[in-house]
């Protein structure tokens, strides 16, 4: 039995996209809802033995499908009730310019997400702030000083309609 599990684990680790069965999908759905769930409860919920369930969770972790576990903090209660979506256009598209920009933007704690985009703008950022004055500080002290920035356009979110950290699983 141990040999089969090791073989499965090696197979999962070597595939970029794992082939998930119903047990794996159930485990992932439950862990996305409550990552602090005990293995005993998880095993019961997915109808597996505790040892089989733990082996599957470990294999999902080792394959990189589960990247880690984290707490979801209430953005408003943490003092960052405002989301600002910032579109940035660079003055050049050289690899060194992109790399310099990306390295610098990672150093701004209020930037929660940064995406390299196709279309009119080069990057889209989601920035969390306390208020308009806080965004003005971040804009003047950080965003406009990022390497290769040609223009910065900002849009304030009026309300969050839907937000999820859980990926849909097929």
Tens digit of pLDDT for each residue in 1-42? 333 344 344 444 444 567 899 999 999 999 999 999 999 999
- Percent of residues, the chain, with pLDDT higher than 70: 90
Take residue 99 and report the two structure tokens written for it.
């790399």
Angle between helices 2-14 and 50-62 (to 10 degrees): 30
User: How much is the pLDDT for 16?
Assistant: 53
User: How much is the pLDDT for 5?
Assistant: 43
What's the mean pLDDT in 100-121? 97
What's the mean pLDDT in 94-107? 96
pLDDT digits (tens, 9 = 90+) for 153-165: 999 999 999 999 9
User: How much is the pLDDT for 164?
Assistant: 92
User: How much is the pLDDT for 40?
Assistant: 98
CA distance 147 to 108: 13
Angle between helices 39-46 and 22-33 (to 10 degrees): 130
Domain ranges of the chain: 2-62, 82-156
Let me know if the fold of 2-62 is the same as that of 82-156.
Answer: no
CATH of domain 82-156: 3.30.70.920
- HSE, side-chain direction, 13 A CA sphere, residue 54: 6
CATH of domain 2-62: 1.10.10.10
What's the mean pLDDT in 66-92? 96
CA distances from 25 to 47, 51, 82, 151, 166 (A): 13, 17, 34, 43, 12
The reported pTM is 0.82
């Amino acid at each position: 039995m141990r040999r089969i599990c090791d073989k499965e684990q090696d197979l999962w680790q070597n595939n970029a996209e794992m082939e998930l069965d119903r047990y794996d999908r159930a485990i992932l759905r439950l862990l996305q809802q409550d990552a602090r769930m005990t293995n005993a409860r998880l095993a019961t919920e997915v109808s597996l033995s505790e040892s089989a369930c733990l082996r599957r969770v470990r294999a999902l972790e080792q394959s990189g499908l589960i990247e880690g576990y984290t707490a979801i903090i209430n953005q408003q209660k943490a003092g960052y009730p405002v989301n600002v979506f910032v579109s940035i256009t660079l003055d050049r598209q050289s690899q060194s310019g992109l790399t310099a920009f990306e390295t610098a933007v990672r150093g701004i704690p209020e930037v929660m997400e940064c995406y390299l985009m196709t279309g009119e703008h080069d990057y889209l950022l989601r920035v969390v702030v306390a208020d308009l004055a806080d965004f003005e500080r971040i804009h003047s002290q950080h965003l406009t000083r990022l390497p290769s920035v040609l223009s910065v356009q900002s849009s304030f979110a009026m309300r969050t309609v839907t937000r999820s950290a859980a990926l849909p699983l097929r």
